[in-house]
Structure 1
Amino acid sequence: MSLLEATPDAASTTPPVSVRLISYTRDAPRLVAAAARITVSKKPVEKAWEMQPSDIEKWIRELVRRGHGSPLEHAVYTFEAVCSRVCSHQLVRHRIASYTQQSMRYTEGFLRSMVLEICSILGVDCPEKPSSSADYTVYGSALSRAAELVQQALAEESSRVHVDGIVVAVSKAYVINPKWNMDTVLHQIRVHLSATAAYYEMLAKGVPREDARLVLPHAVRTRVVFTMNARELLESFLPLRMCSHAQWEIRMLAWSVYDQLVKVHPEIFQYAGPRCVLQENRVRVEPCSLDAYLLGQCVFTIERCPELVPRKGIQNCLRYARDSSRYAEDKTASA
């Protein structure tokens, strides 16, 4: 039984990943089409700019089909993401991008909100803004007590009802896989609670935050602002990370990025998708949208995808990648 099925308060757990588009090139489709047009025209860009929407779509479709990516680089998109450090380590491997990440040298990140909620559950008076060794000691003690309760719940299944609130609290600071069973979840949060208790105990002893953070698990949440151009999104990030073979958390992030991009600029991003979609669109006379592949309106013709899935299995693999990345729908279905 998964976390979403087993925990009455599952609807209150913080989603593993959140992403929002915060800035983008507003007239990107026209800009991309105009940039493509001047490569084969004597006209200046302001003349190339004067196009009907149908012409814009035609030029973009041709770019996708031919793999002519440089015009796409003029359109940029900036996102804010909250995810685990595991996920952010994968994200920053995409080199044609800009990143600014929350520093845990200068902030406790999402840890304090978790601690304060646990203190409330345990009935412990915890300062909202710890400023002394005594304050940090209180934080560490509360977390150690919560870890003991989780250990008890692991030993006695009848005690699990008492730790639902702790699970919800821990999800504020650490990413929890919603598909894990409750035994796995409880083992994970016990480790997270113990590690965070050690973190605050180190702060209480005067250890600098930049050193104390070394004991924190990689599942700790972080905030990242990142900017990518449309070419990087279409040809690298989305193809790699929307794939069913990508790690589940960054796949969830990538599908959320796609959902937001296709809402603002469908002319460009309707053709986005995992590498199977990118490869198939390069060999077709006319590229197809991701939705067309998912609905079976376009059939894959490549012998196998880059991950070696044979042709007959690609559509099901694509649907799995989509369905397994829809956390909100999973929660609704299990509520």
Structure 2
Amino acid sequence: MPTKHYPSARLVARLPDAQKLIAISAKLTITPKDFESIAEKMDENKIETWITELVKRGHGSPLEHSIYVFEVVCSRVCSHQLVRHRHASFSQLSQRYSDKYLRSLVSRAREVTGLTGDDVGEVEVIDRLLEMGLDFDTLLDVVGEAFIVPPKVVELKNRVFLERLLESVRDYYEVLKSGVIYEDARFLLPQAVKTRVIVSMNARELLEVFIPLRTCSRAQWEIRWVAWAVREELVKVDPLIFKFSGPRCVLMENRARSSPCSLEDFAGKKCSFTIERCPELVPRDKIQECLFYSVSEFQRYTRTS
């Protein structure tokens, strides 16, 4: 599981027997047989064959019958990108009614400073924390309760970045204390502040749009990590569908091949790229390297967090 200052995504609900449903729906388009008749003879091998054909031909409509629901914890930077995906449904934690993550930060700050009394307010706690000259890792532990922190900031151990985030929390509670209401006080918060989003997408949106666009090495790092986490969850439950998912180079290549390859086959160099260039204009001889970077970066993130 990722550390608290990085984003996370987990599958919380899905349609059972999605792979079989998709395969049945695909076959139903070319046969006079009814659903039950097709389902009766749809074994595992036939399911795989039909799904592979869908991927190869780009016949995406049967994939739309399967829905997947994720809980994503990320920054507002990331959630603004996430909600651009129009073929999806979202329910997001409201900053007007909940300061859950900020409260968690203050609670952790109280533990670190020892200011646990009810008579000591949030502003005083944060001020004391900033005065203590704590090491970077301790500050990160506190900040990570409420904010997503970029990996480059962690790598550089940039204290100024963390201090500015803490100052924003102090300012938030200071204006609340002065009478400003929650929905106005939130204007002071940086986009790094955490949010929680329930996201529902169908298999087609995931396979053809979200995962290809957002796992690409050109995507912003946070939503890229979320997308890889989403893919990782999906491969566990419906591998016949999502083993073919990956960045746009993978989608584009599989549409050009007589038989599609899994992401793992591309990453392991069992399959090579034949397309002249990817949609991001990376030439053929550099695509594998670009893909490997995106895959390995996420693997490093999950191993070290």
Question: What is the TM-score of this pair, normalised by structure 1?
Answer: 0.87
Alpha-carbon shift at residue 94 of structure 1 (Å): 0.4
Q: How far apart, in 1, do the equivalents of 2:34 and 2:237 lie?
A: 27
The equivalent of 1:130 in structure 2 is none
The alignment status of 1:170 with 2:143, answered yes or no, reads yes
The equivalent of 2:273 in structure 1 is 300
The alignment status of 1:20 with 2:20, answered yes or no, reads no
Deviates more, 1:183-192 or 1:64-73: 183-192
Alpha-carbon shift at residue 119 of structure 1 (Å): 1.5
The equivalent of 2:31 in structure 1 is 41
Would the aligned equivalents of 1:72 and 1:231 in 2 still touch at CA under 8 Å?
A: yes
The alignment status of 1:87 with 2:91, answered yes or no, reads no
Would the aligned equivalents of 1:20 and 1:257 in 2 still touch at CA under 8 Å?
A: yes
> How many residue pairs are counted as aligned between the two chains?
303
Alpha-carbon shift at residue 293 of structure 1 (Å): 0.3
Per-residue CA deviations over 1:72-102 (Å, capped at 9, x if unaligned) read 0000000001111111111111010010000
Residue 117 of structure 1 is aligned with which of 101, 105, 108? 108
Residue 285 of structure 2 is aligned with which of 301, 304, 312? 312
User: What is the correspondence of 1:1-335 to structure 2 with a 5 Å cutoff?
Assistant: 13-50=3-40, 51-127=42-118, 138-149=121-132, 161=135, 163-180=136-153, 185-326=158-299, 327-331=301-305
Alpha-carbon shift at residue 330 of structure 1 (Å): 3.0
Secondary structure at the aligned position of 1:78 is classed as strand
Secondary structure at the aligned position of 1:303 is classed as coil
Q: How far apart, in 2, do the equivalents of 1:66 and 1:183 lie?
A: 46
Would the aligned equivalents of 1:272 and 1:289 in 2 still touch at CA under 8 Å?
A: yes
The equivalent of 1:7 in structure 2 is none
Q: How far apart, in 2, do the equivalents of 1:181 and 1:232 lie?
A: 33
Unaligned 5+ segments in structure 2 are none
Would the aligned equivalents of 1:116 and 1:126 in 2 still touch at CA under 8 Å?
A: no
Alpha-carbon shift at residue 141 of structure 1 (Å): 1.9
Secondary structure at the aligned position of 2:158 is classed as helix
Per-residue CA deviations over 1:229-275 (Å, capped at 9, x if unaligned) read 00000010000000000111111110010011001000110100000
Question: What is the TM-score of this pair, normalised by structure 2?
Answer: 0.95
State the Cα RMSD in Å: 1.7
Q: How far apart, in 2, do the equivalents of 1:228 and 1:12 lie?
A: 23
Unaligned 5+ segments in structure 1 are 1-10, 128-133, 154-159
